[in-house]
Amino acid sequence: MSITISLHYHGKAGSARAFAEKMERTGLADAIRAEPGNLQYRYFVPLDDPETVLLIDAWEDQAAIDRHHQSPMMAQLAALREKYDLHMEAARFIALDAPPSDDGYIRK
């Protein structure tokens, strides 16, 4: 049962995008991707809101998230959020083990 978290980072004057670019450029995002249990860690910019960055962060289970939250890199991440004065909205999605019912609508 995987857990996906969507985080919307809201900033001003390009700060949310600068934050995401810094995460990628410094290798901090790659370090998170390499953590045991991480399934996805990707940033996106909504076409209708250039001052927001969406992070899709997926993990195998809650234990993997807990290990991530206790890792030393969380202090680096928190410092960057503070530096760029970001505010966040979060939503959590838990994958069901049942087969998806919308396969007929998804083009692969």
Domains, the chain, ranges and CATH?
3-95 (3.30.70.100)
**For position 100, what pLDDT does the model report?**
65
**For position 107, what pLDDT does the model report?**
72
Give the contacts of 25 (CB within 8 A, at least 6 positions apart).
none
Low-confidence ranges of the chain (pLDDT < 70): 97-100, 103, 106
Q: Is the pTM of this model over 0.85?
A: yes
**For position 5, what pLDDT does the model report?**
97
**For position 99, what pLDDT does the model report?**
64
Measured between alpha carbons, how far is 34 from 37 in angstroms, rounded to an integer? 8
The count of C-alpha atoms lying within 13 angstroms of the C-alpha of 28, restricted to the half-sphere facing its C-beta, is 19
